[in-house]
């Protein structure tokens, strides 16, 4: 049986998970792939902390180049994360003709096009199933299963931290701050949580998925990103009364000459399967022209779910090595020569429906003023909801609009803010309708 | 660019869908696979009906052997269905060293082990993504994505007809007969609906999935199968009051020396993601040791969703042909030499929870009688629900049991039926708890 030598860069949570699977599932993996997947070397600056794993013959070294430059290593697994040293290591590994498996979405979103080019030049594979949606087979589905489909749209919950916090606010009426604190105590959120809660991690994943879905270059910088810091129990309660749930969604839609790519809190109706995805679970709904609506659901993070996805990439590459082939499926699903640059729609050009909540002064004519300004800006209102006055004498006024242009809405809101009818900034949450099947 | 020649056996709904995708997505498929997927010949006994498709250079013939024996054909797609002529054609195609793609779950469930052996002997591939769950990538997930996992359990809604009928009864309070009629009018159910509503189609799919999940030979005959004919609005209403939904589930569980494999109406709690899968949609929840709980959701049938799955198989084989390889992934996920015969647990040995509904006589001591017999048979009752008497003077008594053995329950029910306390046969619906994640 052929032996395939693997090196892992980074012995943190994910790296240790990969090592654990390679050790504990040795027999299973041999039986299923027909190869010995030999974990030859792990490199980490910390070579002393005990990760509770019997490494056997595997070397633990502090110098990454002991893997990257080792001619015996076939597959380099990068689980360091970040965009600086990981990038340098991956580029060098690819140049050394090693296949690379990574879970690093930030790196792929920022520099993926370069990495793909380098892999191509060196005729090796670059695989990243674990970068989006943890153990859910999103990448394989887009690259292989949906091969005969044009993807019309994707909407996805891709950050477990945000989904946990939103579920917590929704179920317990917690404030955002309390829900974040709870997520931090449980280890779902980092001490510095911005990457997750401000939507950037979700945007990284969307940049990758949009590329695979539509055969386009990875484009992170034009994705509109909003996080969940401003979500309150009040808005979640209003949403519920309309049959909506609030989720942080990554939305990618294909139009003939452009795509939409945006990350923001979104109201979705209870008939949308994503509305039932709670706590730290992730899910993606893909609407494709032949399949119609499909959904994948699972753990989007965590040691073993992420390691499982890394192993599926390793096994794919191992099967190729045994058969003497490589680059069987194009890295981004389409051959590099056919990958297009497709522009992302500027946010101000978006047409969608809106939930608007104002803190209105409780005096006559306020509603007429607000709705007048909206009307002047071509925004028609589907429904208005006004609750009794608050203890502070202010009245929350909620409006659901018909489809309107983002530019109109922003302009109208600026005008409304300038009047003495409302206090503070209005809350704006976009509403996403998924066609019912 | 290399040309790969494809022949389709059977020009019905699925065959026409495959032909349509091959024609309409010609450019997309060439771009993504790097091969010309040339639909060379279609064979059907009916060569005259217009299926609304411009066949161009594709020949439509009545003799299947024009495909099976044509040395130019690389891939044979079987979309005839059934277990007689389709079997004969597939065996001959495999013997002629052609790769075969099929959606034929009945054939695979009944004769799959033989087909796998024949494919092995002739060193060709046999692919069947479309056989289970339509466009959902179940087969690819089990064979490839979950390669480093041991599958602990699967539970799945695999028949859109049954799910449509159960949803209809649940939402509208229809009788089974009316819901079936509605499904027939909409084309979801056949005029002779037994294959679907009696659970056989679901069992075919479970036999295939169990094999892939657990590395075992396909075993249909030992699967316990019950359909949905006896489901009433009354039981659905009771289920709802306990926070349960009734679905026809395929359940496959791995134990150390045996597996469970059963198809029956099942009560699941609202926190089970399958409980939100309505109408004709299918879904599978897979609980694996590394990934934890994942779910795939999508259209389980229909022309284009099924054709999309067939195309993913064709593309996989095409990529192999271009690279000069074959049999890259074992047909059943494990190499044939490692496939075990794992016994299926006899139903009477099953331990689970039960919903029992009796039509009780409205006289003193009846409840004591029923619960006494259950107690004598070691069955403990979690809760009892008794509603006011019916117009016929009978009282519906509903009991939810703790975990009990099927043999005990069947014995107790027989004893209870012999008393004068109840009228008719009790309703028995098993309850399935999915561990919450």
Identify whether A91 is part of a domain.
Answer: yes
Please answer whether residues B120 and B92 qualify as being in contact, where contact means their C-beta atoms are separated by less than 8 angstroms: no
The answer for residues whose C-beta is within 8 angstroms of residue A370's C-beta and 6 or more apart is A358, A360, A397, A399, A416, A421, A422
Q: Does the pLDDT value for residue A436 go beyond 60?
A: no
pLDDT of res. B386: 85
**Helix (H), strand (E), coil (C) string for A74-109:** CEEEECCCCCCHHHHHHHHHHHCCCEEEECCHHHHH
Does residue B343 lie within any of the structural domains?
A: no
Q: Mark whether A149 and A287 lie in a shared domain.
A: yes
B283 and B242 in a common domain: yes
Kindly identify which residue of chain B lies nearest to residue A297, measuring between CA atoms. B295
Residues of chain A contacting B333 with CB distance shorter than 8 Å: 32
**Helix (H) and strand (E) counts in chain B:** 14, 17
* pLDDT of A437 higher than 70: no
The C-alpha of B275 sits at a distance from chain A's nearest C-alpha, in angstroms, of 10
* CA–CA gap between residue B346 and residue B350 (Å, rounded): 7
Q: Is A343 part of any domain?
A: no
For residue B436, give the nearest of B309, B285, B260, B262 by alpha carbon. Answer: B285
- Looking at the domain assignment, is residue A437 inside a domain? no
Domain assignment present for residue B387? The answer is yes
- CA–CA distance, A310 with B148 (Å, rounded to integer): 9
Contact of A274 with A106, CB cutoff 8 Å: no
- Contacts of residue A38, defined as CB under 8 A and 6 or more positions apart, other chains included, come to A3, A4, A5, A6
Per-residue model confidence (pLDDT) at position A96: 98
- B191 within some domain: yes
pLDDT of residue A22: 98
Residue B437 domain-assigned (yes or no): no
**Does A294 sit within 8 Å of B136, measured CB to CB?**
yes
pLDDT of residue A364: 84
Interface test with A, best of B133, B275, B291 (most A CBs within 10 A): B291
Tell me the CATH number at B360: 3.30.70.260
Active site (catalytic) residues of B: 205
What DSSP designation does B134 have? T
For residues B272 and B319, membership in a common domain is answered with: no
Domain membership of residue A332 (yes or no) is yes
Say how many residues make up chain A: 437
pLDDT of residue A104 exceeding 80: yes
pLDDT tens digits in sequence order for chain B, 437 residues long? 999 999 999 999 999 999 999 999 999 999 999 999 999 999 999 999 999 999 999 999 999 999 999 999 999 999 999 999 999 999 999 999 999 999 999 999 999 999 999 999 999 999 999 999 999 999 999 999 999 999 999 999 999 999 999 999 999 999 999 999 999 999 999 999 999 999 999 999 999 999 999 999 999 999 999 999 999 999 999 999 999 999 999 999 999 999 999 999 999 999 899 999 999 999 999 999 999 999 999 999 999 999 999 999 999 999 999 999 999 999 999 999 999 999 999 999 999 999 999 999 888 889 999 999 999 999 999 999 987 777 777 889 999 999 999 999 999 999 999 999 899 999 999 999 865 54
- Domain around B44: 2-134+303-336
From the list B197, B187, B192, B259, the residue with the least C-alpha distance to B230 is B197
- Residue contact B147–A34, C-beta within 8 A: no
CATH classification at residue B172: 3.30.360.10
Which residues of chain A neighbour B298 with C-beta distances below 8 Å? 291-295
pLDDT digits over B179-217, tens only?
999 999 999 999 999 999 999 999 999 999 999 999 999
Residues B161, B291, single domain; the answer is yes
**At which residue do the structure tokens 């090592």 appear?**
A19
The chain-wide mean pLDDT, for chain A, equals 96
Mutation test of the interface with chain A: which of B14, B19, B147, choosing the one with the most A Cβ atoms within 10 A?
A: B147
User: Is the same domain home to A95 and A113?
Assistant: yes
Q: Which residue in A107, A133, A34 sits closest to B328, CA to CA?
A: A34
Cβ B52 vs Cβ B11: under 8 Å: no
Global pTM reads: 0.97
Same domain for A319 and A287: no
Tokens at A125, concatenated: 């594979």
- pLDDT beyond 90 at A433: no
CA-to-CA separations, A220 to A79, A113, A206, B294, B423, in angstroms, rounded? 21, 11, 8, 28, 68
Q: Are residues B279 and B394 in the same domain?
A: no
Q: What percent of chain A has pLDDT over 70?
A: 99
Min Cα distance B371 → chain A (Å) is: 38
Of B129, B295, B304, the CB nearest to A297: B295
Same domain, B107 and B214: no
Q: How many domains does chain A have?
A: 3
**Token representation of residue B6:** 């494809």
CA-based nearest distance A306→chain B, Å: 8
Residue-level pLDDT at A435: 57
Inter-chain residue contact A297 with B292, CB threshold 8 Å? no
Question: CB-CB: which of A25, A311, A335 is closest to B31?
Answer: A335
**Mean pLDDT of all residues in A99-114:** 98
Q: What is the pLDDT of residues B229-269, one digit of tens each?
A: 999 999 999 999 999 999 999 999 999 999 999 999 999 99
Q: Which residues of A96-122 are buried (b: 16+ CB within 10 A; e: fewer)?
A: bebbbbbbbbbbbbbbbbebbebbbeb
Half-sphere exposure of A259 (CA within 13 A, CB side): 33
Contact: A328, B329; criterion CB under 8 Å: no
What count of CB pairs under 8 Å joins A to B? 187
Pick from A297, A311, A315: CB nearest B294: A297
**Residue A331 vs residues A270, A321, A336, B122, B280: alpha-carbon distances, Å:** 36, 16, 8, 32, 34
Residue B291 and residue A141: Cβ atoms within 8 Å? no
Asked if B297's CB is within 8 angstroms of A298's CB, the reply is: no
Angle between helices A303-322 and A26-33 (to 10 degrees): 40
pLDDT per residue as tens digits for the range A134-187: 999 999 999 999 999 999 999 999 999 999 999 999 999 999 999 999 999 999
Could you report the per-residue pLDDT of B58-77, keeping only the tens digit for each? Answer: 999 999 999 999 999 999 99
- Mean pLDDT lowest for which of A102-106, A214-218, A270-274? A270-274
Q: At what angle do helices A105-121 and A85-95 cross, to 10 degrees?
A: 20
Same domain for B309 and B291, yes or no, is no
Give the number of residues written for chain B.
Answer: 437
Residue B73 distance to chain A (closest CA, Å): 21
The verdict on a CB contact (< 8 Å) between B146 and A295 is no
Q: Are residues B112 and B253 in the same domain?
A: no
Nearest alpha-carbon partner for B164 in B271, B247, B237: B247
Please state the ipTM of this predicted complex: 0.96
B143 and B268 together in one domain: yes
CA distance A123 to A336: 12
Q: Are A24 and A86 contained in the same domain?
A: yes
């Amino acid at each position: 049986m052929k032996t395939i030598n693997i090196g892992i860069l980074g012995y943190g949570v994910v790296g240790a998970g990969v090592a654990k699977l390679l050790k504990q599932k040795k027999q299973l993996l041999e039986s299923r792939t027909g190869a010995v997947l030999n974990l030859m070397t792990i490199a980490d600056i910390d070579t002393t902390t005990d990760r509770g794993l019997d490494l056997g013959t595997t070397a633990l070294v502090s110098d990454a180049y002991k893997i990257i430059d080792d001619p015996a290593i076939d597959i380099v697994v990068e689980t360091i994360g970040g965009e600086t040293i990981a990038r340098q290591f991956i580029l060098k590994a690819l140049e050394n003709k090693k296949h690379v498996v990574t879970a690093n979405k930030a790196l792929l979103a920022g520099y993926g096009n370069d990495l793909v080019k380098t892999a191509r030049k060196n005729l090796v594979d670059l695989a990243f199933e674990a970068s989006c949606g943890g153990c859910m087979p999103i990448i394989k589905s887009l690259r292989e299963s949906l091969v005969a489909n044009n993807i019309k749209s994707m909407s996805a919950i891709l950050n477990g931290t945000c989904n946990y916090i939103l579920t917590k606010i929704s179920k317990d009426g917690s404030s955002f701050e309390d829900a974040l604190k709870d997520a931090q105590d449980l280890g779902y959120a980092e001490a510095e949580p911005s990457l997750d809660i401000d939507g950037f991690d979700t945007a990284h994943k969307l940049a990758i998925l949009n590329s695979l879905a539509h055969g386009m270059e990875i484009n992170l910088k034009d994705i509109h990103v909003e996080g969940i810091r401003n979500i309150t129990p009040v808005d979640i309660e209003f949403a519920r009364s309309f049959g909506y749930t609030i989720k942080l969604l990554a939305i990618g839609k294909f139009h003939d000459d452009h795509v939409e790519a945006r990350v923001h809190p979104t109201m979705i109706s209870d008939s949308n399967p994503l509305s039932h995805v709670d706590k730290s679970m992730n899910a993606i709904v893909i609407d494709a022209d032949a399949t119609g609506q499909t959904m994948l659901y699972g753990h989007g993070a965590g040691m073993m779910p992420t390691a499982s996805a890394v192993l599926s990439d390793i096994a794919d590459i191992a099967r190729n090595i045994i058969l003497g082939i490589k680059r069987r499926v194009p890295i981004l699903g389409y051959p590099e020569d056919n990958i297009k640059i497709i522009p992302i729609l500027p946010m101000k050009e978006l047409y969608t429906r809106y939930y608007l909540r104002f803190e209105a002064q409780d005096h006559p004519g306020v509603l007429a003023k607000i709705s007048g300004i909206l009307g002047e800006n071509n925004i028609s209102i589907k429904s208005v909801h006004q609750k009794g006055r608050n203890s502070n004498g202010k009245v929350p006024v909620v409006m659901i609009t018909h489809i309107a242009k983002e530019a109109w809405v922003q302009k109208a809101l600026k005008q409304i803010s300038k009047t003495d009818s409302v206090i503070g900034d209005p809350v704006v949450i976009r509403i996403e309708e998924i066609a019912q099947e």
